[in-house]
Amino acid sequence: MGLIVQKYGGTSVGTIERILRVADRIITYKEEGHDVVVVVSAMGKSTDVLVDMAKQITPFPSEREMDMLLTTGEQVSISLLAMALHTKGYDAISLTGWQAGVTTEAIHGRARIKQIESKRIQAELGRGRVVIVAGFQGISDEGEITTLGRGGSDTSAVTLAASIGADKCEIFTDVSGVYTADPRMVPAASKLDSISYDEMLELANLGAGVLHPRSVEAAKKYKVRLVVRSSFTAEDGTYVEEVANMETGRVVSGVAHDEDVAKITVVGMPAKVGTLSRLFNTLADNQVNVDIIIQSSYDAAVTNISFTVTGEDLTKALNTLSANQSELGFEKVDYEENLTKVSIVGSGMINNPGVAAEMFRVLAEREISIKMVSTSDIKVSCVIPASLTELAVRSLHSAYGLDVAETAVVHG
């Protein structure tokens, strides 16, 4: 017997049939004697539908009203799942984020969870109920409904598991666990039995969509036992833990890619102390997130600074730079779209020289140009043309011995 938090993504509850299947899985856990708290995302693509409806009214909807709109998606799925359990003879109650005690920052669209007051959840569990909580949402101290941003239901589940002292947090998705690459792109990708928090965090930040980075951060911080599993099979998943029992000899654990990358070069910045500070503080003040940064100088007085942003942030970044050109003192801005960041990740890289050199060799042999490079102890990232993403990912996956004979199964 134990206390288990489960999270089901939009694909897992995308239809009434799938919601009934989720209810059956929950019942299996209840019959084994477990207490179960379930965090649910909006059904299928319903969030995208809501966003599209808003954009048909105005291209620039109020962030507050968008949060009011988008949180309705999760409320549909939690109530339907509760009804499904009721029809099968099991007591369940659905709770919105704020009913479940989730308090967030007073920021719309990307709030962070400040705390979870779990008295209501504990009381409902004490009554023998399955507690079903809407992911992705909470409420600020000012009483405003907020959302956590895309993938926020993962973070809801992990922080909830931490707050109630759950024995395990299971993230159910459309794949059977964490793979060595996206199985949609690399059918020969293999499922990992376990992976460390640090490796998973790198993969998540670098584009692996199976877990949201903030959920991995929370799991590492609060030592939450995290499992990624398929909601369509009974197959064992991947454990994300402090020390992963990885296969001996595997230097690279996985290949990740992020196809939403743009490169900006600020040309002719004054080569003075404080230049970088002024530039990136200006961008930060306008909520532009910057990733890879490279500085290059061609004379003593002037420097060029290149950096990457998401494609979504490109226009905002260019507008911010244009509005602050006089203050920052640069000559012009160049930019390049349709880029991908492809990365290799593995804790075994620390003690194995030549891993980055092998990556560069493989890309060069495929005549894939490298625009920018970023490294850490356990990852190497290269920015490349988006049109060559699949070639790069598959080539690197093979080069580091990650291919298997079986074809990965992805449920849609």
Distance CA 339, CA 50 (A): 28
Q: What is the mean pLDDT of residues 85-93?
A: 98
Q: What is the mean pLDDT of residues 223-245?
A: 86
Residue 321: burial class (beta carbons within 10 Å; 0-12, 13-18, 19+): buried
pLDDT higher than threshold 60 for residue 100: yes
Q: Does residue 7 have a known ligand-binding role?
A: yes
Question: What is the third-level CATH fold of 2-173?
Answer: Carbamate kinase (3.40.1160)
CB 10 within 8 A of CB 43: yes
Task: Name the DSSP letter for residue 351.
Answer: G
Distance CA 366, CA 334 (A): 27
Q: Does residue 10 have a known ligand-binding role?
A: yes
- Spatial CB neighbours of 401, under 8 Å, sequence gap ≥ 6: 250
**Rounded (5°) CA angle 108-291-329:** 95
What pLDDT is stored for residue 330 in this prediction?
A: 95
- Spatial CB neighbours of 83, under 8 Å, sequence gap ≥ 6: none
pLDDT higher than threshold 70 for residue 111: yes
Q: In which band, very low, low, confident or very high, does the pLDDT at 411 lie, cut at 50, 70 and 90?
A: low
pLDDT higher than threshold 90 for residue 128: yes
Q: What is the mean pLDDT of residues 371-391?
A: 95
Q: Does residue 173 have a known ligand-binding role?
A: yes
Q: Does residue 248 have a known ligand-binding role?
A: no
Q: Does residue 47 have a known ligand-binding role?
A: yes
DSSP 134-180: ETTEEEETTS-EEE--TTHHHHHHHHHHHHHT-SEEEEEESSSS-BS
pLDDT digits (tens, 9 = 90+) for 269-311: 998 889 999 999 999 999 899 999 999 876 778 899 999 999 9
Q: In which band, very low, low, confident or very high, does the pLDDT at 157 lie, cut at 50, 70 and 90?
A: very high
Q: Does residue 9 have a known ligand-binding role?
A: yes
| Predicted model pTM | 0.84
What pLDDT is stored for residue 247 in this prediction?
A: 46
Q: Does residue 303 have a known ligand-binding role?
A: no
Q: Does residue 8 have a known ligand-binding role?
A: yes
Distance CA 271, CA 331 (A): 13
The count of residues in the chain is: 412
* Residue spans per domain, the chain: 2-173
Q: Does residue 174 have a known ligand-binding role?
A: yes
Query: Residue 357 — left, alpha, or beta (φ > 0 → left; ψ -120 to 50 → alpha)?
Result: alpha
Q: In which band, very low, low, confident or very high, does the pLDDT at 248 lie, cut at 50, 70 and 90?
A: very low
- Spatial CB neighbours of 2, under 8 Å, sequence gap ≥ 6: 34, 35, 166, 167, 168
